[in-house]
Each structure stands twice: as C-alpha cells, then as structure tokens.
Amino acid sequence: MPVHEGHRSRKKEQFRAHGLDAFADHEVLELLLYYAVPRQDTNPIAHRLMEKFGSLDAVFAADRAALEEVEGIGENASTLISLMFPLMRRIRASSGAHETILSDTEQAGAYFLDLFFGEREEKLYEACLDAKGRLLACHLVAEGDTESVQLNMRRIVENALKCGASSVLLSHNHPSGVALPSPADNATTLSVFDALRTVGVELADHIIVADDDFVSLRHNGLLPERKGNGYGI
C-alpha cells in the first residue's frame, strides 16, 4: 500500500472515531479532497489552499476559477469545494421546513441568516406568511446588484396571491458590505410595499443580511408602525 494510502486510512479512522473536532482546518480540507483527488497526497494541496485564501471559510467561499489556480485543484475538486456552502444552506433551509414561524424580527433574521449562509452573489427573496406568521413559501425573485436589477412587481404580487399570503417579508444580502440599506434598497422596499398594498397584502419587513448581521427596515422606520413587535396580523 502506498504511504499516502495508509495515511488516508488513518485520517478516515480518526474522523470516524472523533469527528472533525480532532482536525485542524487544513486537515479538514485534506480529508475532503480524498474524494476528488485520487492517488495523491492531498496534505500539500490543503496547505496551498489555506495559504492562498487565508481561512477555511474563505476557501469554501472562493469561486471555482480561483480554486483551480491552486496547484492540484482540478474540476472535480473545485466542484466539491464549491458545493459545501450551497449544501449547508439547503440543509439549514430544510430544517423544520414543515412549520417555520417568522412572527417577529429575530425569527426572520435568523431564518435569512441561514438562507444566505456562504452566499457570494446578491439575491432577493420573498417570504410569504399567513396571518400567524407561518412561512407558506419562499421565492427567489431577483439576483444581482439591487441598483441594476429590475424587479418584476407582478411576479411578487402573484407569488403572494397564489400562497394566500397575509403578509410578505423581503430579504436580500450584501455579500461584500455591511447590513445597511442603500437608497436603492429603500426605494425597492417602498415600491414593493405599494404594489402589495393594492391587493390587500402587507409588506411586514425587509431584512438586509451581511455576514452574521442583519438589519430590519421596519425597525429603521421605513415601513409604517404596527401594533406590537410581531409580524402576525
């Protein structure tokens, strides 16, 4: 058995016995790369990834082209690494999906922090709620810079009507910034508020997410005051 094959077997056994808590960050990458880089020692590749990107988080957030600039990273390895954040977002979003309650700002902020976890592109979601704040559906309605994306107001209204929503939450992310609204964010929020109001649906809030932080435009005073602190009607 080649030396690196014996090393792989020991690392796999270490994971089975102790989990990832027993691994340094570069060893996590080394173990992951076993499944995309056959018959090679992945330890040096893992070190090169850490040296280029600086942290485990930054490696998983890197785009495929940047990953493939690292010696030893080919198409299979870059695809596997790029899959990690979207996979974690999908798992988080599906957890408790049958009964997700977004009845106040803290619950909504936590939900959208999970939804945008590791997301590198700016996206805008519409969450449709019933009268008790229960999530009926969450729709991706726009991608890209909010200053250049033209929202389809008809689609937003139709989403709410098809769900029988009492209220709607908007949320978008600032991947490379802070969770503070721009003039374009405020204008978008007010436009959606007006469009939904014409069909008797309330825009309860617009949550902006950046890294591990979020801001509520309702709490910032952009949207009309409501009774209490919750979203339920």
Residues 134 and 113 occupy one common structural domain: yes
Residues 155 and 61 occupy one common structural domain: no
Residues 84 and 103 occupy one common structural domain: no
Residues 31 and 141 occupy one common structural domain: no
In 3D, which of 161, 154, 170 has the Cα closest to residue 203? 170
Look up residue 58 and give its two tokens. Answer: 């930054």
Residues 84 and 116 occupy one common structural domain: no
One digit per residue, the tens of pLDDT, for the chain of length 233 reads: 455 678 899 999 999 988 888 899 999 999 999 999 988 899 999 999 999 999 998 899 899 999 999 999 999 999 999 999 888 877 766 655 567 899 999 999 999 998 998 888 899 999 999 999 999 999 999 987 655 456 789 999 999 999 999 999 999 999 878 899 999 899 999 999 999 999 999 999 999 999 889 999 999 999 987 655 566 54
The parent domain of residue 126 ranges over: 98-216
Using the 3D structure, point to which of 29, 61, 91 is the last residue of a domain. Answer: 91
In 3D, which of 209, 34, 45 has the Cα closest to residue 122? 209
- CATH, residue 77: 1.10.150.20
Residues 120 and 198 occupy one common structural domain: yes
Structural domain count of the chain: 2
In a domain, 227, yes or no: no
Give the pLDDT of residue 100.
87
User: pTM here?
Assistant: 0.68
Give the pLDDT of residue 43.
94
- CA–CA separation, 23 and 53 (whole Å): 19
- Enumerate helices (H) and strands (E) in the chain, giving the number of each: 9, 5
Give the pLDDT of residue 3.
54
Using the 3D structure, point to which of 63, 91, 119 is the last residue of a domain. Answer: 91
DSSP one-letter code for 98? G
In a domain, 233, yes or no: no
β-bridge mates for residue 170, sequence order: 126, 206
DSSP one-letter code for 36? T
Cβ count near 100 (within 10 Å)? 17
10 Å CB burial of residue 148 (0-12, 13-18, 19+) is exposed
In a domain, 230, yes or no: no
Residues 103 and 209 occupy one common structural domain: yes
Extended beta strands in the chain, E state? 123-129, 135-143, 167-173, 202-210, 213-216
In a domain, 44, yes or no: yes
Residues 137 and 210 occupy one common structural domain: yes
Residues 102 and 209 occupy one common structural domain: yes
Residues 73 and 54 occupy one common structural domain: yes
Do the bridges between strand 123-129 and strand 202-210 make them parallel or antiparallel, or are there none, so unpaired? unpaired
- CATH, residue 180: 3.40.140.10
